[in-house]
Amino acid sequence: MVQGPDYYDTLGLTRGADDLSIRRAFRKLALKFHPEINKDPSASQEFNRMCEAYDVLSDRESAACVRSFRACFGHVFHSQILLRACLLVCCMHA
């Protein structure tokens, strides 16, 4: 089983964080993990995860879909593909 990405946790935020908190958290972590600044090979992966989290949470509709999806279906999935497919369906019907 695969646990889906927790976008709030990725940015070090609590659920329901406001737009300003999301932006500040992303910028703080971006300075730490940007591949041009941090030469650690894992920094690039972490930066990509942060960008995905920011893209979703900074869009109010996407963030609402994530919250409602988690409330309905929980966190654990059999595969990452199933997680993304279910999230897409949930957002289409929201």
Q: What is the pLDDT of residues 55-85, one digit of tens each?
A: 888 877 777 776 666 655 555 444 555 566 6
The region of weakest confidence among 5-14, 37-46, 58-67 is 58-67
Contacts of 40 by beta carbon, 8 Å cutoff, 6+ apart: none
- Between CA 2 and CA 75 the distance in angstroms is 9
Rounded to two decimals, what is the model's pTM? 0.68
Beta strand pairing status for 2-3 and 76-77? antiparallel
Q: What percent of the chain has pLDDT over 70?
A: 62
Kindly indicate whether the domain formed by 2-92 is annotated with CATH number 1.20.950.20: no
